[in-house]
Amino acid sequence: MPIPTVASTRRRFLGQAALATGAMALPRCGEELPKPNILWILAEDFSPDLSCYGNKQVYTPNLDRLAAQGVRYDSAFVTAPVCSAARSALMVGMYQTSVGGHNHRSHRVDGYKLPEGVRPFTAHLREHGYHTSNVKTPAEGLRVNGKTDFNYNLDEPAFDGEDWSERAEGQPFYAQINFSETHRRFKAFPERPIDPETVDLPPYYPDHPVVRKDFALYLETAQHLDVKVGKVLDRLEAEGLAEDTIVFFFGDHGRPMPRGKQFCYEGGMRIPLIVRVPAKYRSKDFNPGSANDDLISHIDFTATTLRLAGVQPPANMQGRVFLGDDQDQSRDYVVCARDRCDETVDRIRAIRDKKYKYIRNYYPERPYAQPNHYKDTSYPPLQVMRQLQEEGKLTVAAGLFMAASRPADELYDLETDPFEIRNLATSTDESETLERMQGQLDNWIRETGDRGETPENPLPDEYKLRTHIDGWMTATGILTKTEGVMRMQWNGKKNQVRLPIVVEGGEFLLRFRARSKDIGPQHLFWGTVENVNGIGNQVPTPLKTDGAWHEISARFAAEGWLVNLGLDFGSGEGTIDVDLVRLFQRNGNNLRMLRQWTFAAGNSPQAA
Ligand SMILES: [Ca+2]
């Protein structure tokens, strides 16, 4: 299928002219400079929550220094608010929706290839003399996993190696470093803790101690990221490469929180972008220490990187060059697309200009917060929001995300409503804006060949085992309920059933009856805000596998706030039935029942 392109004709004309004369796009006066090295430093799941972006709580001196030496971009956005789809687009400089990489973690095992003529951008760099690497040891003592996460299979290697030190003498390099911060699980920064009471929470979160603590831990994780980036910058200095290397720092998408990752609100689609260009490679308009408000899309990083390397971006690439003397016209809008994430089918498209954002929900009858194992078991703020919603205690702003359904159209004025709280889609004053942006989105869908219109079928096998009953969730089995019994069937992988719950810490007792012929729980485990899905928080809970019902009770104590608990079955295979689960708070020998689960048809957890 041919790939439509939105590349500007101006760019192609100028690019071809530059290549025809053999001149590099970048140097100021036509003198021949050696090709620059280009380094991408990627953060995971990170919004612009840095001191240099105005966050007053977080301490990020290294990234602030990078911003002071480079340019800070205030309007940089992803094409998808989730790892694999965003990274799939970045790697080819085309929307993930154009190349079939839009469903999260799809095409892992089906041999799916990119459309004809679409190649990883590193292949073009390689052909122009660059060494390309996905760095695994970015500085001494620092190891990273080298995440790629593409939703397609490549015919050629994406990278030549794992470090720029592997390049030939005199060879320019492109390298990327993928840090896992600030992906969950968050990591405390004891040397410089952040007081949860001082955190500025977005107004669409409830002001709750768990949300505050979780947000503070997110910012502390950003401080770890900053330390690591500092080590990379130090390494460039130590190796004498700082003046030869253009450095990009950015996020793969926004923060892992409700209305963040997986959603097309600013929390999910807006990312930090800092670019430092050594003096000899700067264009006239590059002013170190300045901020730039042009709309920039992830796929523009790809096109720009190629141009900086003196490589003309192929015509099928959809990004625009935003650096150097030969830049494309800046964008009128950026587009962000959300499709299936994990087991949760959705389709959202958002188009954003400098003032407005229009969001189209293709499944308005479904809640935003559809059940999702990953988010429901590892986002304490989401758990708080679910619980407060049940209790009718959410503010209007926080309640928006927990609604049982959603509007088909959302329109926000970002200048007056940066947190996207007041939907103007039904306002007659804004009907022209709405119509204009709907038309722009329709054009984009047509011009870029958005493949999200075709439902994915079937769901990848690994997601069929993500099931849930009355709040209990698993990623590796089938949960069903009949007549007061929850049945858990496991398929042999690492098996856990988890229950998100938010309760102030203390001493607890979990009591339930269980029967099984072949498998019993090994542990009860529990998580706190600081230690979600608690590693090491466990007590043994053995069960006789004689097929008879047995009473099980497990005592445990959680400090701070309890945010989840669950049963760990190891990697066995089998079936276990559970009925009438009760959670008690203990005070000496006194028990107070907090909640019970009766697994009756149609019921949900009952508060005591
Ligand atoms: Ca990510």
Q: Residue 498: beta bridge partners?
A: 473, 566
Beta carbons within 10 angstroms of residue 396's beta carbon = 9
Residue spans per domain, the chain: 9-26+35-331, 348-453, 465-607
Joined tokens for residue 447: 């011009």
Q: What is the pLDDT of residue 31?
A: 61
Q: Are 442 and 351 in contact (CB under 8 A)?
A: no
CA of 261 relative to ligand 1 center, distance in Å: 8
> Tens digit of pLDDT for each residue in 482-500?
989 999 998 878 889 999 9
Of residues 363, 357, 364, 368, the one with CA closest to residue 438: 357
CA of 70 relative to ligand 1 center, distance in Å: 24
CA of 391 relative to ligand 1 center, distance in Å: 32
CA distance 287 to 283: 9
> Tens digit of pLDDT for each residue in 521-533?
999 999 999 999 8
Q: In this structure, which residues have their CB less than 5 angstroms from ion ligand 1?
A: 44-45, 83, 252
Q: What is the pLDDT of residue 109?
A: 85
Q: How far is CA 556 from the centre of its chain?
A: 33
Q: Are 82 and 151 in contact (CB under 8 A)?
A: no
CA of 167 relative to ligand 1 center, distance in Å: 28
CA distance 142 to 147: 15
Separation in Å, CA 105 to CA 171, 206, 563: 35, 31, 27
CA of 534 relative to ligand 1 center, distance in Å: 22
Q: Are 572 and 511 in contact (CB under 8 A)?
A: no
CA of 483 relative to ligand 1 center, distance in Å: 41
> What's the whole-model pTM score?
0.93
Sorting pLDDT into bands at 50, 70 and 90, what band is 461? Answer: confident
CA of 147 relative to ligand 1 center, distance in Å: 9
CA of 250 relative to ligand 1 center, distance in Å: 11
CA of 480 relative to ligand 1 center, distance in Å: 32
CA of 264 relative to ligand 1 center, distance in Å: 14
CA of 257 relative to ligand 1 center, distance in Å: 12
CATH number of 9-26+35-331: 3.40.720.10
Q: Are 67 and 41 in contact (CB under 8 A)?
A: no
CA of 252 relative to ligand 1 center, distance in Å: 5
Q: Collapsing DSSP states into helix, strand and coil, what is residue 26?
A: coil
CA of 253 relative to ligand 1 center, distance in Å: 6
CA of 89 relative to ligand 1 center, distance in Å: 13
What's the per-residue H, E or C state across 118-137?
CCCHHHHHHHCCCEEEECCC
> Tens digit of pLDDT for each residue in 307-352?
999 999 999 999 999 999 889 999 999 999 999 999 999 999 999 9
CA of 572 relative to ligand 1 center, distance in Å: 31
Q: Are 463 and 472 in contact (CB under 8 A)?
A: no
Q: Lowest-pLDDT range, 45-54, 251-260, 293-302, 455-464?
A: 455-464
Going through 315-441 in order, the beta strands assigned E by DSSP cover: 334-338, 348-352, 356-361, 409-413
CA of 152 relative to ligand 1 center, distance in Å: 17
Q: In this structure, which topology does domain 465-607 adopt according to CATH?
A: Jelly Rolls (2.60.120)
Q: Is 237 exposed, middle or buried (0-12, 13-18, 19+ CB in 10 A)?
A: exposed
User: Which phi and psi angles does 351 have, rounded to 5°?
Assistant: -125, 130
